[in-house]
Amino acid sequence: MSDTTAQTVSYVRETMLAESSPPVTETGTIKWMRENLFSSVLNTVLTVLSILVIYSVVSKIGPWFWNSVWDAGSLTECREVLAAKGMTGHDGACFGVIKDRWQQLIFGFYPSEHYWRPVLALIVFLVGISPVLFDSVPRKMLILTMLTPFAMYILLWGGAIWVPLMVAAGFGVGYVATKFLSPISSLVGTLGAIILPLIFWLYFAGPIAGVLTSVAPIGLEFVPSKDFGGCLLYTSDAADE
């Protein structure tokens, strides 16, 4: 067919058609559900069963939350409020204790004037663990990860800062020992990294911390572990780790 003939044929398109939107079943939520929840007979059955289980749980627990009582001063008063609405003590939750004791549920018996310390310790923990959880965080922030346990100890328990600093210094002794002894042999370097910090902690850390505390008593008010409680226990366990 010549160029002249091609230009005169009416069914030859001279422009491209605009792109059409994909079918509804091939995009968005419907596509995700079809591929993940209903991709096979087995998945369809499991999805339906899961929906039934969730509905059964929500239908039973939901009213218990919706009928909850927050202003009662005691369990007896809470049940009286529910009874006045024609319900039993099992038809609604008694959440008055949460309203009155929320501070104790979160901080235990930690002194109220020092609540800022566990809050700051939680922030320090989240910042310190971020390089471990997220690849996008710069690797140099792993230094903060190593310092986090010592900072959390100072914030939570308090006392003189020199004791945890001497513990951290022991790890520094092990690092230096590895640097200087590893060229001799890897075994000597490993033994030095283990034995020298132990010697430092057993014989030198305590006396040095005592001297520094007497010269510069820098630190926070000590809070004993018996005052820890509630959600604060999770933060203190993280510091111990």
Domain borders along the chain are 24-64, 67-107
- Model pTM score: 0.64
- Which helix (H) or strand (E) segment is 125 a member of? helix 116-133
Token pair 């007896």: residue: 76
pLDDT score at 48: 94
With H, G, I as helix, E, B as strand and everything else as coil, classify residue 69.
strand
- Structure-derived torsion over alpha carbons of residues 127, 133, 134, 138, reported in degrees to the nearest 10: 50
pLDDT band at 9; cut points 50, 70, 90: low
Q: Is the pLDDT at 98 greater than 90, yes or no?
A: no
pLDDT score at 99: 82
pLDDT band at 211; cut points 50, 70, 90: very high
Give the separation between CA 83 and CA 169, rounded to whole angstroms: 63
CB 70 within 8 A of CB 99: yes
